[in-house]
Structure 1
Amino acid sequence: MNDTVHDTERPDQQAYMAAVDLGSNSFHMVIARVVDGDIQLLHREKQKVQLAEGLNEQLVLSEEAIERGLSVLAQFADTLKPFAPQSVRVIATYTLRRAKNAATFLRRARTVFPFPIEVISGQEEARFIYQGVAHFEHFSGRRLVIDIGGGSTEFAIGEGLQPLRLSSRNMGCVSYAMQHFAQGRISEKRFARAILQAEQELEPIVSSFKAAGWQQAVGTSGTVKTIRDIIIGLGLSNNALELTHLLALKDHLVAQENSYQLDLPGLTDDRKLLICSGLAILIAAFNLLQIDQLVYIDAALREGVLYEMSDRLQHLDIREHSVASMQRRYDVDMAQAERVRNTALQLFSQVRSVWQLNDEDAMLLGWAATLYEVGLHINSSGVQKHSAYILQNANLPGFNQEQQQLIATLVRFHRRKIRLDDMPVFSLYQLSQVVCLLVLLRLAVLLNQKRRDDLLPEFTANAAMQTLELNLGRDWLTQQSLLAADLAAEQKALKKIAFVLDCPELAASSTVLS
């Protein structure tokens, strides 16, 4: 299936999409279509993987966990065979965010799963979760959203579709089960230790979240759903959860002594070893955030991903807002940013087919061109390093970790020496692709160094593998001795990374000047 099903004989054009969530406990896939601007879910798949269980204290993912993940991805790939790459979005969360050998998993995943896997930050995960809830069910006031995952727990406060506070804490039902309830053992002391650790993890965000305030508290995903189903099944509540219900369930679990022997309404076998750790985290959240009541909503990260995909189909890309916000925050010289962006994209349009670049590459290049000077806010000396640091560490909603890292890398090497050894290893991008984008950005910055709108002549660019021929016009370049010298220096800099920059007028102008 493609992004949009085009049929001239049918007026009800529909966009088919799939979102895949590689969580720390389970892998989820949802398939949907857009009907009259709304998302209609067509199919769901869920497979227990427990990636977080395979993450050791050194943050290395075990071979067994990798194999479990690859096996499920192969199954998902079979379901997604009819889909074009642009109609599928795959998001990876806590475990692949933390694992030191995540690159190994991603590299091996490409052999069984043809779609790119995006590792996202904790804040980005919280934003997607909030968007899923906000789109799923309207609420006129301010909302607190809690999602207890296998390796992390996400918290968000927002109003309408706008998130106001986002946080991801390193506590999850799989990791806490291994740490505090090993072999399914349950006791009052184990609960007390788990709750205390969760409260310590929550402490840094409590004052900020309580200051924001909320009128409704919402829980999402499997852990909260299971706790709610058990509490309703035991007759402790009809719907909403309160602290007294959670404490009553804790007492009931402690009396059982071991998770393996639990027999409770709403508790499936695959949740038995996780119920105590999930409950401890939820009790800690109730305690520190002073939550009165919490309701369950059946929407989370993957629904948020679907809604954002739908927005992009309508050309509403949140990344544009993130970039604009960054420009305002660091008082970027917008006229210069636009000059560099326009030049970079002019060059891009002339070389994209030969270098096999795509629309997404163009957007990332354009954003790097508009943000390359954010580091001037710190110091003009070493601006490329300052800018890269800010872009690498800023919260940029809508960008996955590699997209953000790619922009930071382009900006880091937009001037001076290019150190390939210092570049990160990407999963979503080839090194040759990164180098091509970097060359275009460097040239765009160099050609606009005088910060004038009326300076550049008409130019052309012709590309070959690891080669770019730039034609600026001989008469014009002979009048630009400083630029000619800088272009000659750029030729030498690119030659060190085995890239050839050819500028025929440069040799001619050098002869004239001599």
Structure 2
Amino acid sequence: MRAAGIDCGTNSVRLLVIEADTPQGPVRELTRQLRLVRLGEGVDATGEFSRAALARTFAALDEYAAIIREAGIAPEHLRMVATSAARDVRNLEAFTEGVRARLGVAPEVIPGRQEAALSFAGALTGLRAAGVGVTGPVLVTDVGGGSTEFALGDPDGGLGRAVSLDIGSVRLRERSMPGDPPGADELAATRAIIDAALDTSGIDFASVRDWVGVAGTVTSLMAAHLELAAYDRDRVHGARMELPALQRLAERFCASTVAELRDIPSLHPQRAEVISAGALILERISRRLSVPTLLVSETDILDGVADSALHAGGRATS
């Protein structure tokens, strides 16, 4: 039995194809793909997907559709979710129709709490499979392009509180730190925006005993911290970074130009445009925590989506 999950965020669209001999059997990963398409470019200012952003996203989905067909995956075992950017636009129908034409299924625009819950499940399942121990209460954080999700819970007892905040790397880069590199006033304004959002999150940061980060901003920062000559998923998954090192790395990224960031060998060139804002979000979160490290997971919402497609038969095709 084969299934596929697609996670379409503000900055990237990702595909995971998995298979299992039985619904309860061990899952094997067949392919994992990433395209940085910047679907949410300009959404914060205009409230709409631009034609160029839709074209980039549809081009990536054309590639994914071919992979899905070659893998022989039925529509009922394909699930695509869309997150922050899709929650904010007026012209969602153009996106939905373009997806349906290419994949035969409509994208699910999921609420922030569900996004956080899927990230929580995906992260902890992947860490457990790698033999990485996690102490509860654990906070799983997903810094995306348009929003940041928090899921606080027990690694064995399940999710407690989940919340989505409208702070993300693309959104903040466009809104409050457009300089290259951002100026001191821009950074101060962005810190204030992040801190105000965190104040309203309802997350009990003082209770956290382990902090797990997922998705591209976190994994890219870890790869840079490890000084990898090329991105290595196996090296990043389960790695820990001490919080002072994270704070220094965020300061370095915010002081760098996009051209300088593109010289980092493990960093995707397109991610260099927005990662400083994502690093600043993580830095502000770290100041509220008493844990010593950030633990990075390569498994996240995408793994949760693919697993649900395998075990629940996907979602409606209408």
Q: Which of the five TM-score ranges fits, normalised by the shorter chain?
A: 0.7 to 0.9
Provide the aligned length of Structure 1 versus Structure 2. 298
Counterpart position of 1:181: 177
CA contact (8 A) 1:144 1:158 kept: yes
Structure 2 counterpart of 1:167, from 147, 160, 163: 163
Aligned-partner residue type, residue 214 of structure 1? V
Whose helix fraction is larger, Structure 1's or Structure 2's?
Answer: 1
Cα distance, 1:45 vs structure 2: 1.3
Q: How does 1:281-320 map to 2 (within 5 A)?
A: 281-312=281-312
Counterpart position of 1:222: 216
Cα distance, 1:79 vs structure 2: 1.4
Structure 2 counterpart of 1:106, from 96, 108, 127: 96
The Cα RMSD (Å) is 2.4
Deviations 1:433-462 (Å, cap 9, x if unpaired)? xxxxxxxxxxxxxxxxxxxxxxxxxxxxxx
Q: Is 1:48 matched up with 2:64?
A: no
Structure 2 counterpart of 1:126, from 116, 134, 137: 116
Structure 2 counterpart of 1:142, from 130, 137, 141: 137
Cα distance, 1:286 vs structure 2: 1.1
Cα distance, 1:230 vs structure 2: 1.5
Q: Distance in 1 between matches of 2:248 and 2:181?
A: 18
Q: Distance in 1 between matches of 2:53 and 2:255?
A: 32
Counterpart position of 1:57: 45
Q: How does 1:469-484 map to 2 (within 5 A)?
A: none
Counterpart position of 2:66: 78
CA contact (8 A) 2:3 2:17 kept: yes
Structure 2 counterpart of 1:39, from 27, 30, 41: 27
Aligned-partner residue type, residue 112 of structure 2? G
Counterpart position of 2:205: 210
Aligned-partner residue type, residue 174 of structure 2? M
Deviations 1:453-472 (Å, cap 9, x if unpaired)? xxxxxxxxxxxxxxxxxxxx
Cα distance, 1:104 vs structure 2: 2.0
Aligned-partner residue type, residue 63 of structure 1? R
Q: Is 1:20 matched up with 2:6?
A: yes
Q: Distance in 2 between matches of 1:306 and 1:128?
A: 10
Q: Distance in 2 between matches of 1:87 and 1:97?
A: 24
CA contact (8 A) 2:39 2:57 kept: yes
Q: Distance in 1 between matches of 2:293 and 2:27?
A: 29
Q: Distance in 2 between matches of 1:114 and 1:292?
A: 46
CA contact (8 A) 1:152 1:172 kept: yes
Please list every run of 5 or more consecutive structure 2 residues that lacks an aligned counterpart in the other structure: 129-133, 229-237
Cα distance, 1:254 vs structure 2: 5.0
Please list every run of 5 or more consecutive structure 1 residues that lacks an aligned counterpart in the other structure: 1-14, 318-359, 362-427, 430-514
Cα distance, 1:103 vs structure 2: 1.6
Q: Distance in 1 between matches of 2:92 and 2:157?
A: 32
Q: Is 1:95 matched up with 2:85?
A: yes
Aligned to 2:213, what secondary structure does the other structure show?
strand
Q: Distance in 2 between matches of 1:254 and 1:145?
A: 24
Q: Distance in 1 between matches of 2:31 and 2:253?
A: 35
CA contact (8 A) 2:208 2:291 kept: no
Aligned to 2:40, what secondary structure does the other structure show?
helix
Aligned to 2:204, what secondary structure does the other structure show?
helix
Counterpart position of 2:233: none
Q: Percent identity?
A: 26
Distance 1:260 1:34, change over 3 A: same
Distance 1:161 1:94, change over 3 A: farther
Aligned-partner residue type, residue 136 of structure 2? G
Cα distance, 1:291 vs structure 2: 4.5
Deviations 1:342-373 (Å, cap 9, x if unpaired)? xxxxxxxxxxxxxxxxxx89xxxxxxxxxxxx
CA contact (8 A) 2:2 2:310 kept: no
Distance 1:255 1:282, change over 3 A: closer
Cα distance, 1:255 vs structure 2: 4.7
Distance 1:300 1:164, change over 3 A: same
Distance 1:45 1:199, change over 3 A: same
Aligned-partner residue type, residue 215 of structure 1? R
Distance 1:250 1:45, change over 3 A: closer
